[in-house]
C-alpha cells in the first residue's frame, strides 16, 4: 500500500512537472516579442552602441549622440528622405549663395521648437555664439571656423561677436558669410555642431556657457526635430516620441524611436535575434560571413566615409619621438587585419582620408607594412630590437571588435618589434575623458566624415582643435589648413590639403588602420532606412510594416 502510494505521488508530480514545462514553453513561444509590440505601436527600436555622453548637441563628439540628434534636432539643411547624403530642406526651407561665400537661408515659416515656441534666425545666432565662446569648451568649435572671423572670436583675437559672419536679417532670414568659398557648406550644416539650440530652455537652467545643466533632461530638453525626448534611462534607453510642432510632421511615419545602448556586439546580436531590436549598430566580426551567406534578409553592409585609426599621445615619452611613432605604424599588417579579422570588405588605410571625400581628391599612399624599416627606425630611436622600450597600453572603449583588433596589433608589435604592450578597456564616457586629458599612451579611435570634403578629416589635427587629443602641433600644417579655407580653385585647394595630409602622416600623431564598411542587422519590416556615407539618418522617412 505504501509503495503504491509512493508510486502514485511520484507519477502525479511527474505529470505536474510535464504540464508545467509544456505551459512554460507555450507561454515563451507565444509571448509577443518586443519588436512586434513596438511595430504595432510604430516605435523603432535601435541598438545605439554605447550610452550617450550628453544630449547637448554642442558638447557631443560621438556617433551614439549623432544618431539621437538626428531624431530630436534639425539643422538648416537636413538629410533628404530619398538620399540621406543629399541636401534636403530642414529648418531652412530654401537657401541661396553669392560665390559660395555669402549664404542666405529662409527659415520654415511654421518652424517651431517642441514646446511650440517659434524657431527664429536669432536661435542660430545664439547657438553659434555659444559654440564659439571658448569658455563653453565645445570640442567641435572648429566646425564653425569657415565662418568669417569665427576662429578669431574663439581664440580671443576679437571680442565682438557681431563681427563674426552670421546675422539674423529678420526673424526668418539668416545670413552666413564665410572667410572663403565653400561649395560644401550645405553638407556641413547637417552636422549637429551647426544645429540651433533653444536659448529660452538653456537659460532657464543656467548661463549660456554653463556645461551639463538640467536643460538636457526629459521634460526640460526642447528640440526642433521630427521627434522629442520622452525619457532617458541611463544604460537602458533614450526614448523619443513624435514632435507635434515639427514643421513637416505630416511626413513623419513613425510614432517614436527608442535608442538602446548595448556596448557588446554579441549581446546586441542576441537582443536582435530575441526580438528586442529592429536595427543593430554592429554585429560580431566572426558572424559576418555566416550572415552574409545564410541570412541576407537580416544582413546589411554599407560603405562609410570613415577611418579606423590609433591616436598616439605625443606628449609622453617615448612617443614624443616621430621615429617611434613611425615604427609602430610600419609594424602593423593592415591587409591581414582586413582579410583575417574584419572580413566585410574593409580596405587597408594608406592615408587618413578615405576615397570619396571629394571628387578629384586622392589620399596619400603613405601607410604600409614594412617591419624591416620599422625595426630600423626603432633602433635609431634608441630601442634596438625593442630593448628598454617601456611597457605601454592600447586604450579601447569596451567592445569585442576593438579588443580583437587591439590584440592583433599587440601581437604584431610583439612579433615585429619585440615590444611589450597591454590592452586596456574603459567605458565610453571614461574613455572619452582619458582622450581629452591625454591620459593614455595609444588609443583606438574612429572618425566618420561630417561632410563631403577632405577637410572633415584634416581639420581635426590643427593646433588646439577640440578633437585633436594627441598633443601634436605643426605650424606648417596649421598654415596649410588655413590657406585651404581661402582657396577658391578646387584643384589648388585639394593640392594644399594633400600636402597637409602627407605632412601629418609623415609625423604620425595617428596611425590609420582601415577604411570602414559598416555591417549590421535589420529586421525585414524596417523600410526607408537608407545607406549613408556619413551615417546620416532621415528618421521621418522610416516606417515599420507589420
pLDDT 10s digits, 463-509: 988 899 999 999 999 999 999 988 888 889 999 999 999 999 999 99
Q: Phi and psi (nearest 5°) for 316?
A: -105, 145
Q: Which phi-psi region, left, alpha or beta, contains residue 88 (left: φ > 0; alpha: ψ -120 to 50)?
A: beta
Alpha carbon distance 468, 487 (integer Å) = 24
pLDDT reported for residue 28: 39
Is residue 209 located within the same domain as residue 355? Answer: no
Buried/exposed code over 137-172 (b: 16+ C-beta within 10 A; e: otherwise): ebbbbbbbbbbbbbbbbbeeeeeebeebbbbbeeeb
| Residue linked to cell 504540464 | 19
- β-pair type (543-544, 83-89): unpaired
Alpha carbon distance 158, 155 (integer Å) = 8
Residue 16 in this model has a pLDDT that exceeds 50: no
Is residue 350 located within the same domain as residue 473? Answer: yes
For the segment 294-332, what is each residue's pLDDT rounded down to a tens digit?
999 999 998 889 999 999 999 999 999 999 999 999 999
The cell numbers describing 396, all together, are 579601447
Is residue 361 located within the same domain as residue 485? Answer: yes
Is residue 226 located within the same domain as residue 335? Answer: no
For the segment 126-175, what is each residue's pLDDT rounded down to a tens digit?
999 999 999 999 999 999 999 999 999 999 999 999 999 999 999 999 99
Q: Phi and psi (nearest 5°) for 222?
A: -120, 125
- The beta strand positions in 90-225, using DSSP E, are 92-98, 102-107, 166-170, 173-177
Asked whether residue 229 is assigned to any structural domain, the reply reads yes
Boundaries of domain holding 225: 46-263+522-544
pLDDT reported for residue 452: 86
Determine the average pLDDT of the residues in 378-394. Answer: 96
Is residue 490 located within the same domain as residue 530? Answer: no
Say whether 264 sits in a helix, a strand or coil.
coil
| Cα distances (angstroms) measured from residue 144 to each of 147, 164, 465 | 6, 10, 12
Residue 107 in this model has a pLDDT that exceeds 50: yes
Are 325 and 365 a contacting pair, CB within 8 Å? Answer: no
Say whether 420 sits in a helix, a strand or coil.
coil
Alpha carbon distance 423, 433 (integer Å) = 17
Cβ-based neighbours of 335, under 8 Å, separated by 6 or more: 348, 369
The 10 Å Cβ neighbour count of residue 23 is: 10
Asked whether residue 105 is assigned to any structural domain, the reply reads yes
Residue 18 in this model has a pLDDT that exceeds 90: no
Are 542 and 527 a contacting pair, CB within 8 Å? Answer: yes
Asked whether residue 368 is assigned to any structural domain, the reply reads yes
| Cα distances (angstroms) measured from residue 443 to each of 332, 429, 433, 456 | 15, 14, 12, 20
pLDDT reported for residue 290: 93
According to DSSP, residue 112 is labeled B
Is residue 495 located within the same domain as residue 532? Answer: no
Helix (H) or strand (E) holding 305: strand 299-312
For the segment 404-451, what is each residue's pLDDT rounded down to a tens digit?
999 999 999 999 999 999 999 999 889 999 999 999 999 999 998 888
Residue 193 in this model has a pLDDT that exceeds 70: yes
Asked whether residue 234 is assigned to any structural domain, the reply reads yes
CATH number of the domain encompassing residue 422? 3.10.105.10
Question: Is residue 30 very low, low, confident or very high in pLDDT (cuts 50, 70, 90)?
Answer: low
Radius of gyration of the chain (CA): 26
Are 519 and 511 a contacting pair, CB within 8 Å? Answer: no
| Cα distances (angstroms) measured from residue 539 to each of 422, 508, 514, 527 | 41, 38, 29, 10
Asked whether residue 378 is assigned to any structural domain, the reply reads yes
HSE (side-chain half, CA atoms, 13 Å) at 22:
6
Asked whether residue 274 is assigned to any structural domain, the reply reads no
The 10 Å Cβ neighbour count of residue 415 is: 11
Is residue 478 located within the same domain as residue 446? Answer: yes
Determine the average pLDDT of the residues in 376-398. Answer: 96
Cβ-based neighbours of 228, under 8 Å, separated by 6 or more: 72, 114, 221, 222, 240, 241, 242, 243
Is residue 225 located within the same domain as residue 348? Answer: no
Buried/exposed code over 232-269 (b: 16+ C-beta within 10 A; e: otherwise): beeeebbbbbbbebbbbeeebbbebbbbbbbbebeebb
Distance from first CA to last CA of the chain, Å, rounded? 60
Determine the average pLDDT of the residues in 64-82. Answer: 96
Domain count, the chain: 2
Q: Which of 13-22, 115-124, 270-279 has the lowest mean pLDDT?
A: 13-22
Determine the average pLDDT of the residues in 72-94. Answer: 97
The cell numbers describing 130, all together, are 555659444
Are 341 and 285 a contacting pair, CB within 8 Å? Answer: yes
Residue of 112, 78, 28, 72 lying closest to 226 (CA atoms): 72
Please provide the average confidence, as pLDDT, over all residues in the chain: 92
Is residue 403 located within the same domain as residue 354? Answer: yes
Is residue 63 located within the same domain as residue 165? Answer: yes
What does pTM read for this prediction? 0.83
CATH number of the domain encompassing residue 234? 3.90.76.10
Residue of 263, 255, 195 lying closest to 228 (CA atoms): 255
Residue 24 in this model has a pLDDT that exceeds 80: no
Residue 20 in this model has a pLDDT that exceeds 80: no
For the segment 32-53, what is each residue's pLDDT rounded down to a tens digit?
799 999 999 999 999 998 899 9
Determine the average pLDDT of the residues in 213-238. Answer: 97
Q: Phi and psi (nearest 5°) for 106?
A: -100, 115
pLDDT reported for residue 31: 62
Is residue 344 located within the same domain as residue 409? Answer: yes
Is residue 73 located within the same domain as residue 170? Answer: yes
Say whether 35 sits in a helix, a strand or coil.
helix
Residue of 164, 190, 192, 195 lying closest to 177 (CA atoms): 164
Residue of 436, 450, 435, 327 lying closest to 378 (CA atoms): 327
Asked whether residue 416 is assigned to any structural domain, the reply reads yes
pLDDT reported for residue 358: 66
Alpha carbon distance 380, 385 (integer Å) = 11
pLDDT reported for residue 15: 37
Question: Is residue 196 very low, low, confident or very high in pLDDT (cuts 50, 70, 90)?
Answer: very high
In DSSP notation, 125-153 reads HHHHHHHH-GGG--TTGGGGTTBTTHHHH
Residues in the chain: 546
The cell numbers describing 539, all together, are 528618421
Asked whether residue 290 is assigned to any structural domain, the reply reads no
Amino acid at each position: 500500500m505504501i509503495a503504491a502510494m509512493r508510486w502514485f505521488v511520484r507519477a502525479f508530480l511527474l505529470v505536474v512537472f510535464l504540464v508545467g514545462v509544456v505551459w512554460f514553453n507555450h507561454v515563451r513561444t507565444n509571448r509577443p516579442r518586443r519588436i512586434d509590440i513596438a511595430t504595432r505601436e510604430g516605435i523603432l527600436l535601435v541598438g545605439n552602441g554605447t550610452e550617450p555622453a550628453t544630449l547637448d548637441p554642442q558638447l557631443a563628439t560621438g556617433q551614439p549622440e549623432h544618431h539621437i540628434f538626428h531624431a530630436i534636432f534639425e539643422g538648416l539643411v537636413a538629410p533628404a528622405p530619398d538620399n540621406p547624403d543629399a541636401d534636403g530642406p530642414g529648418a531652412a526651407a530654401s537657401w541661396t549663395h553669392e560665390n559660395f561665400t555669402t549664404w542666405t537661408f529662409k527659415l520654415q515659416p511654421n518652424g517651431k521648437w517642441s514646446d511650440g515656441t517659434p524657431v527664429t534666425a536669432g536661435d542660430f545666432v545664439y547657438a553659434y555664439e555659444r559654440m564659439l565662446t571658448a569658455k563653453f569648451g565645445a570640442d567641435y568649435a572648429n566646425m564653425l571656423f569657415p565662418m568669417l572671423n569665427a576662429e578669431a572670436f574663439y581664440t580671443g583675437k576679437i571680442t565682438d561677436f557681431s563681427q563674426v559672419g552670421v546675422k539674423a536679417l529678420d526673424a526668418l532670414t539668416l545670413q552666413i558669410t564665410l572667410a572663403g568659398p565653400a561649395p560644401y557648406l550645405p553638407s556641413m550644416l547637417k552636422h549637429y555642431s551647426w544645429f540651433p539650440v533653444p536659448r529660452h530652455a538653456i537659460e532657464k537652467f543656467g548661463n549660456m556657457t554653463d556645461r551639463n545643466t538640467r536643460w538636457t533632461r526629459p521634460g526640460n530638453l526642447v528640440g526642433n526635430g521630427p521627434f522629442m525626448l520622452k525619457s532617458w534611462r541611463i544604460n537602458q534607453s533614450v526614448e523619443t516620441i513624435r514632435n507635434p510642432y515639427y514643421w513637416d510632421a505630416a511626413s513623419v511615419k513613425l510614432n517614436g524611436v527608442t535608442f538602446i545602448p548595448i556596448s557588446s556586439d554579441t549581446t546586441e546580436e542576441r537582443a536582435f535575434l530575441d526580438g528586442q531590436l529592429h536595427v543593430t549598430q554592429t554585429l560580431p566580426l566572426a558572424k559576418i560571413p555566416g550572415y552574409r551567406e545564410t541570412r541576407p534578409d537580416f544582413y546589411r553592409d554599407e560603405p562609410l566615409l570613415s577611418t579606423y585609426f590609433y591616436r598616439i599621445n605625443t606628449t609622453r615619452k617615448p612617443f614624443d619621438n616621430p621615429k617611434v611613432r613611425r615604427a609602430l605604424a610600419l609594424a602593423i599588417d593592415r591587409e591581414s587585419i582586413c582579410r583575417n579579422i574584419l572580413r566585410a570588405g574593409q580596405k587597408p588605410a594608406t592615408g587618413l582620408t578615405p576615397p570619396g571625400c571629394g571628387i578629384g581628391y586622392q589620399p596619400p599612399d603613405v601607410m604600409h607594412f614594412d617591419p624591416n624599416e620599422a625595426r630600423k627606425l626603432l633602433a635609431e630611436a634608441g630601442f634596438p630590437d625593442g630593448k628598454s622600450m617601456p611597457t605601454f597600453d592600447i586604450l579601447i572603449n569596451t567592445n569585442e571588435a576593438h579588443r580583437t583588433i587591439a590584440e592583433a596589433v599587440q601581437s604584431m608589435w610583439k612579433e615585429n618589434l619585440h615590444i611589450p604592450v597591454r590592452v586596456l578597456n574603459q567605458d565610453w564616457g571614461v574613455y572619452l575623458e582619458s582622450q581629452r586629458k591625454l591620459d593614455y599612451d595609444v588609443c583606438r579611435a574612429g572618425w566618420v566624415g561630417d561632410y563631403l570634403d577632405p577637410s572633415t578629416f584634416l581639420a581635426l589635427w590643427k593646433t588646439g582643435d577640440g578633437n585633436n587629443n594627441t598633443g601634436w602641433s605643426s605650424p606648417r600644417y596649421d598654415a596649410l589648413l588655413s590657406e585651404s579655407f581661402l582657396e577658391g580653385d578646387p584643384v589648388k585647394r585639394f593640392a594644399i590639403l594633400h600636402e597637409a595630409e602627407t605632412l601629418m602622416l609623415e609625423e604620425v600623431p595617428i596611425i590609420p588602420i582601415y577604411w570602414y564598411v559598416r555591417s549590421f542587422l535589420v529586421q525585414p519590416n524596417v523600410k526607408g532606412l537608407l545607406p549613408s556615407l556619413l551615417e546620416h539618418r532621415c528618421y521621418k522617412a522610416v516606417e515599420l510594416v507589420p
